[in-house]
Amino acid sequence: MDLLRRLGTSLDTPTIPWKSLIITFAVGQYAIESYLQYRQYQVLRRTTVPTQLKKEIDQETYDKSQAYGRAKSQFSAVSNIWAQIKNYVTIRYDVYPWLWAVTGSWLLSYAPSRFQGEITHSLLFGFTYSFAETLISIPFSYYHHFVLEEKFGFNKQTPALFLTDIVKSLGLSLAFGIPLGAAFLKIVQKTGDQFFLYLWLFTLVVQLFFVTIYPIVIVPIFNKLTPLPPGSLKARIDALAAKLKFPLSELQVIDGSKRSAHSNAYFTGLPWKKKIVIYDTLIEKSSEKEVEAILAHELGHWAKGHTTKLIGISSAHLFYVFALFSVFINNRSLYEAFGFYGEKPIVIGFMLFNEVLSPTDSVVKLLMNVLTRKFEYEADAFSHSLGYATELSSSLIKLQIQNLSSMDADWMYSAYHYSHPILTERLKAVGWTSTEKVGGDAKGTAGGSEKSSKQEL
């Protein structure tokens, strides 16, 4: 505690140009990520299929995959430029204090006096800011779904469903954000210098709560879940779960096809009660043995304790973030640099602290990618050890083709952005040797087809 207090005192000085530093950090990060994106774009301009995939990927499919990758890269470049402009304007022209004053005036004008404290003000500020961000993002999100994804045959959403999802998301933000935000602020107000410890414990409880209710309450708001009907696929999965002593309580199919042709499979739940969810598109485009191989990979994460390890790392990182926040929460020079004189709202302090912390996020992201890529190799090896090497490889290749995913990647871009190894790396790791073509031609993929899938294993 003394160390944190001393650090907080040493950083609370008007000689530190907080605003300039944050803008410089943001521009520097943007420059680095733009350089990495440029390197990847050069890879996406290649016209030769990677050697390991020559027997599996025909030229037409490869060309479409490259075109899709370039389209996504171009969209990302425009989105990132807009994000930088928006961030610069927000910081340079003191949008935070302006919005804080506006929302405060709304409370004075329309709210009873008992609702005019810092917590209510902070919640109104947070919702207004989030609502504005949502409105601003709608054109980009609409273009992504109804122009870019539509062009390559992936989008299955209707405009009505698109708007309904936005309304539902805002409703959930209010339903959960108000009580959780109020609790967050109350803990900081009431627990003194050790607030970060109580805040950390509170967050762990909230995470456990959401792990419990997410598949029961939240997922059904957006998608329909139905039990996987009896048959050979269900029998295979039940047998696999029993063999691994996986505590499977439910096996369900999700109607992912109503929004997208992409597909996935995942498990969720508490340690003693798990649910496996399979996208309908995955079942449609894969053989039963391939679905089984994919789930063997997913259960490999469970068997190897990857989920537990990631939760532990996330919890430790969260403790570090909250402890470091205690250093900045009363930093007068930071507040004043952003136009807050005479008051230090907790929610504003947390937002400004995140701006200061953002450069370290890139380092954490890079290190986490190294770890999760290692976990992916281990899960692939686990599936291999159960005798699914051929089926796992063929399913990965099929999904890659159906999704028009990038067949190759620049090593620097991949290290920074990808939490999973690229396809050729995974095939090499499991010792895949092509003996016959396992994927369909371009006519069976997006751009000229009914369905496709997204490899997110």
Residue 449 has pLDDT above 70, yes or no: no
Token pair in block for residue 421: 């190894």
CA 271 → CA 18, 29, 246, 298, distances in Å?
A: 44, 38, 9, 15
- Residue 451 phi, psi dihedral angles, 5° rounding: -135, 165
In whole numbers, what is the pLDDT of the chain averaged over residues?
89
The pLDDT tens digits of the residues spanning 280-293 come to 888 888 899 999 99
Angle at which helices 118-143 and 95-110 cross, to 10°: 120
pLDDT of residue 447: 39
Helices 288-303, 389-403: axis angle to 10 degrees equals 110
- Residue of 457, 455, 456, 454 whose CA lies nearest to 257: 454
Residue 314 pLDDT > 70? yes
Query: Could you tell me the end-to-end alpha-carbon distance of the chain, in angstroms, rounded to an integer?
Result: 42
Cα–Cα dist 277/331, whole Å: 46
Question: How far is CA 392 from each of CA 128, 222, 262, 437, rounded to the nearest angstrom?
Answer: 46, 30, 18, 14
Q: What is the Cα–Cα distance from 39 to 44, expressed in whole angstroms? A: 9
pLDDT tens sequence across 316-374: 999 999 999 999 999 999 999 999 998 999 999 999 999 999 888 889 999 999 999 99
Query: Per-residue pLDDT averaged across 228-254, rounded?
Result: 93
Mean pLDDT, range 18-42, rounded to an integer: 95
Beta bridge pairs of residue 227 = 252
Residue 200: predicted pLDDT? 96
Mean pLDDT of 2-20: 88
Mean pLDDT of 3-9: 84
CB 99 within 8 A of CB 128: yes
Q: Residue 450's pLDDT is what?
A: 33
Which pLDDT value is given to residue 80? 96
> Tokens in use for 423?
């396809």
Higher pLDDT, 443 or 234: 234
Q: For the CA atoms of 260, 262, 264, 270, what is the dihedral angle to 10 degrees?
A: -30
Under the banding of pLDDT at 50, 70 and 90, the label for residue 457 is low
Are 248 and 276 spatial neighbours (Cβ–Cβ below 8 Å)?
A: yes
In angstroms, the CA 341 to CA 74 distance is 42
Residues catalogued as catalytic:
298, 380
Looking at residue 435, what is its pLDDT? 62
| pLDDT > 60? residue 178 | yes
Give the burial class of 450: count Cβ atoms within 10 A of its Cβ; 0-12 exposed, 13-18 middle, 19 or more buried: exposed
Instruction: Tally helices (H) and strands (E) across the chain.
Output: 18, 4
Question: What span, in angstroms and rounded, lies between the C-alpha atoms of 447 and 404?
Answer: 9
Q: What is the pLDDT of residue 437?
A: 67
443 - beta bridge partners? none
Alpha carbons within 13 angstroms on the beta-carbon side of residue 439 total 30
Q: Which of 158-162, 262-266, 381-385, 397-401 has the lowest mean pLDDT?
A: 262-266
Winning range, highest mean pLDDT, from 2-11, 264-273, 409-418: 409-418
pLDDT tens track for 199-233: 999 999 998 888 888 888 888 888 898 999 999 99
By DSSP bridging, strand 265-270 and strand 225-227 are unpaired
Which residue bears the tokens 């890079």?
A: 366
Whether 373 and 422 have beta carbons less than 8 Å apart is answered as no
As a whole-number percent, the residues of the chain with pLDDT over 90 amount to 67
* pLDDT at residue 262, rounded to an integer: 72
- Cβ neighbours around 23 below 10 Å, total: 17
Q: What does the pLDDT look like over 392-442, one tens digit per residue?
A: 998 888 888 888 888 899 999 999 999 999 998 999 898 887 666 665 443
Q: Do 446 and 419 contact (CB within 8 A), yes or no?
A: no
